[in-house]
Structure 1
Amino acid sequence: MKEVRFGIIGLGSMGTHHARYLINNKIKGARLTAVADINPEKLRWAEESGIQSFTDENAFYCSGLFDAVLIATPHYHHPPIAIKAFEHGLNVLSEKPAGVYTKQVREMNEKAEESKQVFSIMFNQRTNPLYQKLRELIQSGELGQLKRINWTITDWYRSQSYYDSGGWRATWKGEGGGVLINQSPHQLDLLHWITGMEPSRIRAFCYFGKYRNIEVEDEVTAFLEYKDKATCVFTTSIGEAPGTNRLEIAGDRGKAVIEDGKFTFWRLRVPESEFNREYTGGFGEPECWKIDVPVTGKETGHQGITQNFVDNILYGTPLLATGTEGIKSLAASNAMQLSTWIDDWVTLPVNEDLYHQKLTEKIKQSKIGKSVSDKTLSVDGTY
C-alpha cells in the first residue's frame, strides 16, 4: 500500500475539520476519497472538491473507495460504526470518546481484535510534548512511586448559547453526558496514559445543570484510589471564567507540575521514604531542587494522531493512541456518574449492567430536541 484512502463518516464541525486538512495534503501518505452524512447540505462542499459523497451508509461501506474510516459522528454511534467498518475489513480512526458506556465499547474492542485492522482514537492531547515529557519522567522512575495526583481542569468554559445551538447537546439521549463525556475525556485518558495506573475505586460528586440549563453534568469533583495507595482528586467544570488547567503529581522523589504551558519538577535529593527512615532530627525535610524542565517540540493535535495512524498502516510505526485504550477513560467517566447516582463508592471494573440501567432511565427522561434524529449520521460530531 502506497497511500491510505480515507472515508469520513459524519460531516459536522469535526468531520469537516478532518476533511479539510486531508484535502489540503497535510497528512503524508493519505488522501480523502469519500464522505458520508445523511444531510445533503453538509455534502455540497465536499462534492465541489471532487470527493465522492454518500447519504446511504451501506453504499458508503460497499463503495471500495477507501481503506480507512474516520468516525466523526455523535458519541453513541462511534462503536456501531466502528464495528461495521471492521466487518468490512477497514481500518478505523475514531473521534473521542470511544462511546458512551463501556458495555458497548467492549463489544467494539472485541470486534477490533478479531478483525486485525488498525484501530486508533483521536486522543490528540497525547501529542503534547509537555505530557509526553511527564510520562517519560514517571515511566523512567524519576519521580519514584506516585503518591498523589491533583488535576484541576476548569478551562472548558461553555456558554448557554453553545448548548442551545443544537437540540442534541448536553442531553442524555443525544450525548450521554456532559463535561465528562464531551470535554474531559482527554484528561481522563492522560491520567492513565501518563501514570500507567488505573483506579481501583472512585467516589464522585457530579452536579447536573448547576451552571447551565442542561440535563447532564457541568461540574464534577472526584476522588480516585489506586491499588498502590496513590490517590487523585479530579475537578472539572464548564462554568468558571477564567478557568484553570493545573496537573500536580507527587511521588517519592519529588513533585511535578504542569501549568500555563510550563513543566516544573521539584526533585528531592534523596527519596522521601529514605529520608524518613534515616532522619533523626525531628523537624526537617529532604533537600529539594527546583527544576524548570526543558520541553522541545510542539503539539500536533488532530493532524498528529491522523499522521501516526497513517504511518502505522504504511510503515508499522507504533500507535500513539490505540483505539482499544479508549475504554479506560470511559470507565472512569462512567464510574463518576454512577457514583453520584447511587451516592456511594464505585469499584472498578465498573458494574456495566447497573450503569447501563441507570443511563437508560436517564435517556427515557431526556428532553432532547425534536430536531435530533436517531439515525447514524443525523447530527454532527461537534465538541
Structure 2
Amino acid sequence: MKAIALLSCLLLTISTNVAAQWYDAKGRAPIVNGDEDIARNMAVQDAIKHTLLFTGAQVNSISQLSNGLLSSDRFEVRSSGSVRDLLLISEEIVDDTMIVHIRADIVASKTSCHASNTKKYVALTKFPLRNRQQAVVGGIFELGSEAAYQLFEQMSSFNGSYGVSQLLPINQVIAPNYQPFVTDQSNMSAPQLLAAQTDSQYLLSGEVKDVSIARPTSKWFGIANNNPLRQYIATYTLFDGLTGEKVWHKRYTTQAPWTFDQREKIDPATQEFWSNVYGESITNQLKQVTNDLNIFLQCQNLRGQVIKVNDRFVTVNLGKRHGLMVGNELMVHHATQFTDDRGILRQSTQVNPTTLVIKTLYDNHLEAEAKDSPLYGDIQNDAIVSLKP
C-alpha cells in the first residue's frame, strides 16, 4: 500500500545513557518517478515523526546523523528535545513503496508544568475551502471536511495533553483576528457556543486556503517531474471555549505532485486519495498540527465551568477523564468583559477567595466543597473553575 504508515511498530530499547533513549520505528513513502533516494529520505522523516509522536519529544534540530544519512536534506521539527543520533537499520521496497527501519537516540526535555498531567478537551469544526473553483480538477470539493475528519482521527489516537470531544458537523469559519462577537441573548460568542455544545475547553477551527494546481516551474526535491504540483495551504485557529478568545493560530503549507488523471474525479473520503502522494503530504501536515497543539496545550491550565450550586457543594463539568483526583483544589474565576478606549472588547476575570476541594469524582463531572468556609453566595452557574497550582 502506497501510504505513509499511520501506525508504526515502535520498540523502546533501554539505553545505558540515562539522559537519552533509543527508539525503533518504521516509516513508509511512495517511490515517485523511480527516485529511491527521495523516497528513502521521506520514509526516514516519516519514521522520525512516529517516534516523536510516541515519545512526546519534539525535535528542534538534528545535530548528528550516522553514515551521512540525510546529510543534504536537514529538517526541523519544533520541540523541546533533540535527536542525537540516527541509524538506518534496514530498507526494503514493496509495491513501489520504500519501507525503512530506523533507530533514533532521543534526548527528551526535562521541562514540566503542573498542568501537564491533565487532559484538556477540544472540539473541531469542519474546514471549508476558501476557493471552491480550485477544487474543480479532481472534484475534491469535500477535501476540507475530510481533512477535518482525518485530523479528528489523529487527535483521537494521540496520547498527549488533550482529548477530542466531537467533530461538529458544520463548516465554521471564525476569523483569527476577530473581535469576540455576541451571537445570542446569552452574551456568548460563536466559539463559546460551539464549545459549550460539546462540553469542551477549546474549539479548533480551520480553513483550507489553497488547493491550486499548476505545472511545476522547477524540479521537485531536485528531480524532474512530469506531474503538476498541487498546493495544500491551511490555517488552524484554537479558541478558548470559555472566553471566546483566540489563543493559538498557525498557517501550514505543503505541496505534492497530482498524479491522478486531470479528468478523473477523486473522492477525498477514499483510501485511494489518502494513499496517494498528495494525500500523504496532507497527512504529514495534520501530524504536525497534532504535535504542535500538544506542545501548546501541555502547560495550559485545566479549566471548566460550574454547572450547579447548592448549599453543600458545587458541581463542575470536569472529572476523571480530565486527570483529576479527589482532594485536588480548585479556584473559581468570574469572567467579565469591558471595552477599552480604542473600542476593543477585552476579557477580564476576578478570582473568588473561596478554594474548592474535590470530594466526589465522576467521569465527566465532580462535586466540590469549600475548603475553609461556607460557600460564598457569589459562586453561580457558568463561573470558570481552574485547577489550583
TM-score, normalisation: structure 1: 0.24
Larger radius of gyration: 2
**Larger RCO (alpha carbons 8 Å, 6+ apart):** 1
Q: Which has the higher helix share?
A: 1
Q: Which has the higher strand share?
A: 2
